Amino acid sequence: MGKDDSANAYGNAGGSSPEGPRGVTIAGRRVRLLVIGLAAAALVLLVTAVGVYAYDSAHNDEIADGVKVGGVDVGGLDREQATQRLQRRLVAPLKQPVEVKLGNQRYPLSAAEAKLRADVDAMVDEAIDASRSWGAPGRVMRELTGGSVDENVAPKISYSAKAVERFVNQVAGSIDRAPLDASISASGSSLNVVPSENGRKLKRDKLLASLETSLDSGARNKLVNAHVAVDKPEVTTGEVASEYPVYLTVDRATYTARLWKNLKLTKTYTVAVGQPAYPTPSGLFSIESKQVDPVWSVPNSPWAGELAGTTVAGGSAENPLRARWMGITDGVGFHGTDETYSLGSAASHGCLRMAVPDVIELYDQVPVGTPIYIG
């Protein structure tokens, strides 16, 4: 075996071969460097994670930028600061009464009357929860890059629904007005039309909904408009004449009866009215009954003499009720008389005497139920 052969057989002790033990040593270093690198990276990640969570924990009670409660900006505030701001900007205005407006009228609903309450702690808790909606790394990145959370937390406000409904009913009691039908204002000598008036009725459901919206939102605008519906009368001014096709008035002072048709004067008649001891009653009445050649049921009164309490046949000589009878009230009515000299005076025992031709003429134009005003 030669020198070269022996060297090949036992290896190159001098390490001159590039494929010898030096190659193994370099590979080992690479492995060690890789392990060290990975360990260092893991350590960096660990330190970073610890730092991220430490930073996040340090801001645990801080509200993210962009978060609002009922429109009040609480971004960047901690729990105590947010509580103070909400007390000042949200709760304090709630103590001011809500006013219902209709025209120049105002109807205040106080916070005490509505039993209004605001849960500030719950509002702040929800604002913080909204701020922590992202994971810890995301929250830290958001903080470091100036990001924000677009969130408006609804106010946590409570009140008594029954108290608010009771208030609406009170407002309705002040606002509601029944319609007024057109009518007649009569005197002994005139008829005047009282015009109709529209009524109004509060739209209660609409007002209740508006108040609930205002209270639920903690709105700073404390003015709520009331709305009403028009309530139409059954008889309008234009229709009143048709309601009174025939009307009678009697002026005792001038011994005059007047016939009105469709509220226009048609005819006047001279009548006799009751004596001072037996006055013709005054007021608004109606024609209750009608008779041709009426039977006379004689009142049981001293002035009737021997006929008192008897019944006298219609058309007889003893019967003073001539031709026609139009009863008004309590034995008082229109009737014809032969004693025409008594017309234009206070001569009867309460009845309204007329000339026979006049009472016949009037009788045919006045139905039962016709109103009559005696003044």
Domain boundaries, the chain: 244-374
Mean pLDDT value of segment 298-321: 84
Per-residue pLDDT band for 5 (boundaries 50, 70, 90) equals very low
Per-residue pLDDT of 191-207, as tens digits, reads 999 999 999 999 999 99
The whole-chain average pLDDT of the chain stands at 85
pLDDT score for 114 = 94
Cα 247 from Cα 189, distance rounded (Å): 12
Structure tokens that stand for 165 in this block: 């409904």
Amino acid 9: pLDDT: 41
Q: How far apart are CA 16 and CA 22, in angstroms?
A: 9
Q: Which of 91-105, 143-157, 169-183, 307-321 has the highest mean pLDDT?
A: 169-183
Q: Give the pLDDT confidence score for residue 17 in this predicted structure.
A: 45
CA 209 to chain centre: 9
Report helix angle 136-145 to 21-58, nearest 10: 80
Q: Is the pLDDT of residue 348 over 90?
A: yes
Reported confidence tier of residue 35, pLDDT bands at 50, 70, 90: low
Which residues, listed in sequence order, are joined to residue 374 by a DSSP beta bridge?
Answer: 250, 283
Q: Specify whether the CB–CB gap between 315 and 293 falls below 8 A.
A: yes
Q: Does 351 qualify as catalytic in the annotation?
A: yes
Task: Tell me the β-bridge partners of 246.
Answer: 261
Contact yes or no for 212/164 (Cβ under 8 A): yes
Identify the pLDDT of residue 288: 97
- The residue-averaged pLDDT of 125-137 equals 77
Active-site residue, from 59, 227, 349, 351: 351
Contact predicate 75/63, CB 8 Å: yes
| pLDDT given at position 10 | 40
The residue among 58, 45, 41, 53 whose CA lies nearest residue 137 is 53
What letter would DSSP give residue 180?
Answer: B
Place of tokens 């103070």: 84
CATH superfamily for domain 244-374: L,D-transpeptidase catalytic domain-like (2.40.440.10)
**What CA–CA distances, in Å, run from 172 to 163, 164, 229?**
14, 12, 12
Is pTM, for the whole model, over 0.85? no
**pLDDT tens across 213-264, in order?**
988 877 777 899 999 999 999 999 989 999 999 999 999 999 999 999 999 9
Rounded CA separation 334/322 (Å): 10
Could you give the CA distance from residue 142 to residue 144 in angstroms, rounded to a whole number?
6
Question: Which two three-digit tokens encode residue 58?
Answer: 């340090």
18: Cβ–Cβ under 8 A, 6 or more apart, which residues? none
Query: How do beta strands 322-329 and 228-231 pair?
Result: unpaired
How far apart CA 55 and CA 208 sit, in angstroms, is: 49
Two structure tokens written together for 53: 């969570």
59 carries an active-site annotation? no
d(CA 202, CA 327): 46
Tokens of 163: 């108290």
Residue bearing the bigger pLDDT, 80 or 24? 80
Given a contact cutoff of 8 angstroms between Cβ atoms, the answer to whether 272 and 343 are in contact is yes
Strands 256-261 and 157-158: unpaired
User: For 15-19, 70-74, 298-302, 340-344, which range has the lowest pLDDT when averaged over its residues?
Assistant: 15-19
Share of the chain above pLDDT 70, in %: 80
What distance in Å separates the CA atoms of residue 32 and residue 178, rounded to the nearest whole number? Answer: 100
Judge whether residue 314 has pLDDT over 50: yes
Report the pLDDT averaged over residues 41-68: 62
User: How far is Cα 166 from Cα 37, in angstroms, rounded to an integer?
Assistant: 76
The predicted pLDDT at position 306 comes to 78
Average confidence (pLDDT) over 283-294 = 96
The C-alpha angle 6, 7, 8, rounded to 5 degrees, equals: 90
Distance CA 302, CA 99 (A): 71
Q: What is the mean pLDDT of residues 80-93?
A: 92
Assigned token pair, 265: 């004067």
Instruction: Please name every residue paired with 177 in a beta bridge, in sequence order, or none if there are none.
Output: 200
